[in-house]
Amino acid sequence: MPPRGWEDAVERVFRRHGAGSLDSDPLQFPRRFRRADDREIAAYFAASLSYGNARAVCSSLERVFAWVGPHPARFVREFEPRREAAALGRFRHRWSSAGDLVRLAVMLRGILGQHGTLQALFGRGVVRGPGGRTDLAATIGRFREAALAYDETPPEDDLSRPGPRYFFPDPHTSAAKRTTMFLRWVVRPDDGLDLGLWDCLHPRDLVAPLDTHMFQIARQLHLTRRKTPAWRAALDLTRGLRRLDPEDPVKYDFALSRLGIVEGCPRHRRSEPCELCGLLGRGKRRRN
């Protein structure tokens, strides 16, 4: 049972963190572009590298978008690995290498060449369950399988490391956080944060992006009792947020994630408790 007053606390966090907090999030990168096709491709690049420390993520993405240039969709459609690979040099973001990004660009080139947009490929695999509700896990699984078919590198060259498979996470083995975040960006309406690019899903079909920090919040609010931040825990968090907005539950994701990225809660010490800390009975913390 969530603590009394948790809904009001989440709403206060939601009102406090809007577009003014965008500079702390990788979503800032696709919003630099005006054309819908550029935003779609920029969003996939940005989401693909959105793992690890937020500051490091944004630093890596600055380099990636310097490489991609002012027109990401054109960059992908005209991508030539031999011509473009050298410009990345020895780029590395944690375990993702320059070679992985080159292979991702080749895969995206194949998808755009055959389907025109990422949405067209994704939309072909949408799975409807009972009552017409989208089975997002099955849908993401189909998209993953279809996208990986465009990887031109022989499988035997990629057995010892994640490679570009990591850019297409599997909801059967993880919370698929980067894919669910990308979908939040492109499906939710343009509100100064999300982009409103796709119409093959409705906001009510989305699942909350779940990383370690959001998993901690979900557990502290008693929205999940699961032990690991996997797909079922993401579903639990989404069900909890539906109590606040059944038609658009993941609209709270950006604001709640600022508690860890901007405010240092709940993983790090800070001088004052946030609304959720206060709700859970945590007192004022000492300064270091």
In this predicted structure, what is the pLDDT of residue 279?
61
Beta bridge partner(s), residue 134? 128
Q: What span, in angstroms and rounded, lies between the C-alpha atoms of 19 and 138?
A: 32
Q: How far apart are CA 174 and CA 193, in angstroms?
A: 25
The pLDDT assigned to 277 comes to 67
Q: What angle do CA 273, 21, 217 make, to 5 degrees?
A: 45
pTM, whole model, 2 decimals?
0.91
Q: Helices (H) and strands (E) in the chain — how many of each?
A: 13, 2
Whether the bond into 266 is cis, omega within 30 of 0: yes
User: Residue 264's pLDDT is what?
Assistant: 58
pLDDT tens digits for 77-99? Answer: 999 999 999 999 899 999 999 99
pLDDT tens digits for range 31-72: 999 999 999 999 999 999 999 888 999 999 999 999 999 999
Contact residues for 13 (Cβ-Cβ < 8 A; gap 6+): 252, 255, 256, 258, 259, 274, 275, 276
Core vs surface per residue 35-56: b (16+ CB within 10 A) or e: eebbbbbbbbbbbbbbbeebee
What does the pLDDT read at residue 110?
A: 98
Q: Residue 93 belongs to what H/E stretch?
A: strand 92-93
Give the pLDDT score at 131: 84
For the chain, report the end-to-end CA distance as a whole number of angstroms.
34
CA-to-CA distance for 13 and 210, rounded, in angstroms?
A: 17
pLDDT for the residue numbered 96: 92
State residue 255's pLDDT score.
94
Separation between Cα atoms, residue 187 and residue 2, nearest integer Å: 28
Q: Which amino acid is at 168?
A: F
Q: Write down the pLDDT at residue 130.
A: 83
Render the burial of 175-206: b for 16+ CB within 10 Å, e for the rest: bbbbbbbbbbbbbbeeeebbbebbebbebbbb
As beta bridge partners, residue 97 has 92
- Ranges of the chain whose pLDDT falls below 70: 154-161, 260-288
